[in-house]
Structure 1
Amino acid sequence: MFSKLFGRKDTAPASALPAIRNVTLGRTVWLDTLAWRRLGDDLRFPLDRDTLEITAQGLVDLKDGGFVHRFYTDDDVMFQAVSDDREGQRVNDITVFVPWDSAYPGGRADRDAWGKRLRARAFTGPGLPEYQRLWFGDEAESQEPVTFWEDLHDDRDGIPDRRIFQTCMLFGRDLPGEGRELLLAIEQENEDRTEVSFEIMIGVPLGVGEFRA
């Protein structure tokens, strides 16, 4: 998914790539599969293994004091940590997402229709149940999605290999045992805005004791 959008090398940032609880580019992450298997048979989250080999790393500066740290496998499984600091010392949310569907728009009408889905109270699709909007709550009929740039790294030299602009919204649904399954719907564009794709990822939250690296 993300590896399809190409960018450039740029000036190295002030510090090296951060490691989030030992998770960083080049490491292996071991997951406790009970984190999602305990959620029941209705789960759509499709991950069928307990190890992730991290081959790319992303960083998002949310510009409000928060940062999103992303770690990718070759098949685009995404281990994500949200923190209050760039170095990831104050992590407050950890999730693993797996690609569900990817599509390319045929024109402006397709992009407008996708944007309407991102702004809606609920999201569904072929083979999926209904997920309710989590960001900003579901009280409003329509809510503008979140936008940001993500710097992607394929090696540890600290220089972004490409940048991706993303417009996205997070949805979720409650499961038995106080569990929750997440759906991240994304419109992503490469740096010069010439390539666009629509992505759906299904995820589950992780506790700090449910992974190690």
Structure 2
Amino acid sequence: MFSKLFGRKDAAPASALPAIRNVTLGRTVWLDTLAWRRLGDDLKFALDTDTLEITAQGLVELREGGFVHRFYTDDNIMFQAVSDDRDGQRVTDVTLFIPWDSAYPGGRADEEAWAKRLRARTFTGPGLPEYRRDWFGDEAESQEPVSFWEDVHDDRDGIPDRRIFQTCMLFSRDLPGDGRELLLAIQQENENEDTRQREMSFEIMVGVALSVGEFRA
């Protein structure tokens, strides 16, 4: 899902890679599978393992304040934590996402259609039910998505190995009981290592929220 983008940046200190409740690059995360199995058979999120081997780590600094910490497996499963501080001491949200679909636009018309889907009140797709916009609420017919750069590390030398520009929107749907499933729709721009040309892709990930007692590292 994530290919090399725009080369390497200037060196950063090794401490640039925070550990979020002991989760960081090179470690194993143990999950309580009841976190999603209790949500019922209607759930589209399907993960048949209780361990994640973290092989890449991303960091996003939001323009409005706050930080997004992302931890990836080789299968592009994404463990994500949002915090008020860069070191991740004040975590406000933890989620777990798995890839659902990935596609490349065939031209300008595809890009415009995807941008319209990101702004819409609801989101659906092949094999998916309807999800309603989670960020900003769903009162407005159209809402601009969120854009940011993510610095991604493949090792602990403190130097980002690639930067990924993303424009995304979070959607969700209620499940029986008090359950909720998330859908993250992303437009991202990668650079092809061979041609040095930028490639755009559309990504859909489905996920669930985790409490602090539903994972450990």
The TM-score range, normalised by the shorter chain, is: over 0.9
Of 16-25 and 191-200, deviating more is 191-200
Q: Which residue of 1 aligns with 2:207?
A: 203
RMSD in angstroms over aligned alpha carbons?
1.2
Q: Which residue of 2 aligns with 1:33?
A: 33
Distance in 2, matches of 1:134 and 1:67, equals 18
Render the CA deviation track for 1:18-76: whole Å, top value 9, x for unaligned.
Answer: 00000000000000000000001100002111100000000000022200000000010
Query: Any runs of at least 4 consecutive aligned residues in structure 1 with deviations exceeding 2 A, and if so which?
Result: 4-7, 12-16, 190-193
Q: Which residue of 2 aligns with 1:119?
A: 119
Letter in 2 for 1:198: F
Provide the aligned length of Structure 1 versus Structure 2. 212
Distance 1:5 1:103, change over 3 A: farther
Distance in 2, matches of 1:136 and 1:63, equals 16
Q: Which residue of 1 aligns with 2:198?
A: 194
Distance in 2, matches of 1:65 and 1:144, equals 18
Of 100-109 and 188-197, deviating more is 188-197
Distance in 2, matches of 1:163 and 1:38, equals 36
* Matched-pair contact (CA < 8 Å) for 1:5–1:189: no
Render the CA deviation track for 1:112-165: whole Å, top value 9, x for unaligned.
Answer: 000000000000000000000000100000000000000000000010000000
Q: Which residue of 2 aligns with 1:10?
A: 9
Distance 1:5 1:109, change over 3 A: farther
CA apart distance, 1:177: 2.4
Distance in 2, matches of 1:90 and 1:209, equals 16
Distance in 1, matches of 2:153 and 2:124, equals 32
CA apart distance, 1:193: 7.2
TM-score, structure 1 as length reference = 0.97
Of 14-23 and 42-51, deviating more is 14-23
Q: Percent of aligned positions with the same letter in both sequences?
A: 81
Q: 1:116 aligns to what SS in structure 2?
A: helix
CA apart distance, 1:11: 1.5
Distance in 2, matches of 1:62 and 1:12, equals 21
Distance in 2, matches of 1:7 and 1:205, equals 32
* Matched-pair contact (CA < 8 Å) for 1:166–1:189: yes
